[in-house]
């Protein structure tokens, strides 16, 4: 089968996708989703494998015909029209990592994927997203049809996840076919009209968790000025909420809301910039799609910022504990280090991954990026606050009571449920511990703290991300 070769991923400059103009393309409905085949039965798998090996070109041609029949653009065409169209397609083979089309480039060809898997990626609001399908069911193998006739700019970048095969049709070829057969034009109009009636508004981007990418600004990979402003404002909110959480955990009067802010503010700035910088570096250096299980690799990458920033967080926590722990700062910051690392991992995943994940999937505020960012941060903060509450509580209690063991501290943490569960209940101690973890003490305050932090940080960055401040050292000789 004669084949053409697409570009390799490393032959395309990494800034191409981030720098294309996405102006009016966002209003268009994407036409495909990643072509991931459903797992067949064992019998069908064996029979398909045998038939492919015997006559692969015929098998691929049959798959092309089947995909044309289900495509959004041609589903109302007659059998004869589909047969004539299939003859106008040219074969194309690709390898894993090949870039088959670029977002913003002129759509000079459309593809029907018949073998292998591909993924569509789109830069939306300076962030790389995985684009799903708004097309008819089983139409996901068609790529680029809706932008083909007028050679409009491609809606998304198409990248191969595995080796495979496709058939392509040129814009001029399809345009000539429509001019030669007015009935084909009517069938295409009927197909698209049917699609408009059948579809309701849906969100087009659903990037999997742990595959989220950070903002991609053309001039700078990280808007450090916006991050710094966000961290400075958020440090005061976080400090006050920490005082309330510590009071709820220990039952003691609330301490000062803003202690040691000369330490907290610069440390928090370093802390938040660290999280965002690490994400930016990891996004640039680690290509998750080169791994066999990209989402699992993404989980590993998502864990790293929290682990790396744990010492910085420990210094922040120690600044709030001087009223009950008189140890010097050099010793105090290490108290509760292990549970704090778990908490920081949850925080990092929440602010770097879960916020964007929630933002993509919210059915409201689709036309208002600010409100969508606000709501996504709020929802992610509730989840991260709940999941991180027990390790946060163990970390805080150990910091406030360094002389006690973790077993004693957890018993103290579980006291509320210990009083509620009757003494004659079987397996009482495990039950008390489980209830204390599922319905944690002070969880509302902790969730409010994390939600507020995410909202302040993400909203401020979103508002100021395009401001660029250039710092220059003054010449002392002048």
Domains and CATH numbers, the chain: 7-198 (2.60.120.10), 224-464 (no CATH)
pLDDT in tens, 253-308: 888 888 888 888 998 999 999 998 999 899 889 988 888 888 899 999 999 999 99
Q: Rg of the Cα trace of the chain?
A: 28
In 3-state terms the chain splits into helix, strand, coil percentages (rounded to 5) of 55, 10, 35
Mean pLDDT over residues 231-242, rounded? 90
More confident residue, 469 or 440: 440
**Beta carbons within 8 Å of 89's beta carbon, 6+ residues apart:** 64, 112, 167, 168, 169
pLDDT in tens, 103-161: 999 999 999 999 988 888 988 878 888 886 544 445 567 888 888 888 999 989 999 98
Predicted TM-score (pTM) of this structure:
0.65
pLDDT band at 198 (very low <50, low <70, confident <90, very high): low
More confident residue, 40 or 450: 450
Q: What percent of the chain has pLDDT over 90?
A: 40
* Euclidean distance between CA atoms 147 and 77, whole angstroms: 19
* Euclidean distance between CA atoms 451 and 318, whole angstroms: 22
Least confident of 13-22, 69-78, 186-195, 316-325: 13-22
More confident residue, 113 or 20: 113
Q: Which pair of structure tokens corresponds to residue 200?
A: 């309701």
**Would you state the pLDDT for residue 139?**
58
**Would you state the pLDDT for residue 137?**
47
**Would you state the pLDDT for residue 266?**
92
CB 296 within 8 A of CB 290: no
Q: What is the mean pLDDT of the chain?
A: 81
CB 321 within 8 A of CB 332: yes
pLDDT higher than 90, residue 221:
no
Q: Is 132 helix (H, G, I), strand (E, B) or coil?
A: coil
């Amino acid at each position: 089968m004669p084949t053409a070769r697409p570009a390799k991923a490393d032959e395309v400059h990494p800034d191409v996708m981030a720098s294309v103009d996405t102006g009016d393309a966002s209003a268009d409905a994407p036409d495909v989703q990643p072509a991931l085949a459903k797992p067949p039965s064992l019998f069908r798998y064996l029979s398909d494998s045998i038939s492919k090996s015997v006559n692969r070109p015929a098998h691929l041609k049959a798959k092309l015909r089947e995909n044309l029949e289900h495509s959004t653009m041609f589903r109302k065409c007659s059998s004869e029209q589909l047969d004539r169209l299939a003859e106008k397609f040219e074969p194309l083979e690709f390898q894993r990592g090949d870039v088959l089309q670029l977002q913003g480039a002129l759509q000079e060809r459309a593809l029907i994927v018949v073998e292998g898997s591909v993924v569509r990626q789109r830069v939306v609001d300076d962030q790389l997203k995985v684009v799903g399908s708004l097309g008819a069911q089983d139409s996901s193998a068609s790529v680029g049809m809706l932008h083909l006739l007028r050679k409009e700019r491609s809606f998304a970048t198409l990248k191969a996840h595995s080796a495979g095969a496709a058939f392509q049709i040129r814009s001029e070829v399809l345009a000539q076919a429509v001019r030669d057969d007015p009935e084909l034009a009517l069938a295409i109009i009927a197909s698209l009209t049917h699609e408009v009636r059948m579809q309701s508004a849906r969100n087009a981007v659903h990037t999997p968790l742990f595959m989220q990418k950070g903002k991609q600004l053309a001039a700078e990979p990280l808007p450090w000025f916006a991050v710094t402003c966000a961290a400075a404002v958020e440090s005061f909110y976080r400090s006050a909420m920490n005082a309330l959480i510590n009071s709820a955990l220990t039952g003691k009067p609330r301490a000062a809301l803003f202690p040691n802010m000369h330490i907290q503010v610069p440390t928090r700035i370093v802390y938040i910039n660290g999280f965002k910088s690490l994400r930016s570096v990891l996004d640039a250096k680690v290509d998750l799609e080169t791994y066999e299980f990209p989402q699992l690799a993404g989980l590993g990458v998502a864990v790293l910022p929290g682990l790396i920033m744990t010492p910085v967080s420990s210094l922040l926590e120690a600044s709030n504990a001087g009223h009950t722990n008189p140890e010097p700062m050099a010793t105090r910051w290490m108290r509760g280090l292990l549970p704090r690392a778990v908490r920081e991992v949850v925080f990092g995943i929440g602010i770097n991954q879960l916020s964007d994940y929630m933002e993509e999937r919210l059915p409201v505020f689709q036309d208002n990026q600010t409100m969508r960012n606000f709501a996504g941060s709020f929802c992610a903060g509730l989840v991260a606050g709940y999941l991180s509450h027990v390790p946060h509580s163990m970390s805080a209690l150990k910091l406030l009571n360094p002389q006690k063991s973790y077993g004693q501290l957890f018993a103290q943490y579980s006291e509320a449920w210990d009083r509620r569960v009757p003494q004659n209940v079987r397996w009482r101690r495990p039950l008390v511990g489980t209830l204390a973890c599922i319905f944690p003490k002070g969880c509302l305050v902790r969730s409010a703290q994390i939600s507020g932090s995410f909202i302040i940080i993400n909203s401020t960055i979103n508002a100021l991300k395009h401001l660029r401040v250039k710092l220059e050292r003054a010449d002392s000789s002048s």
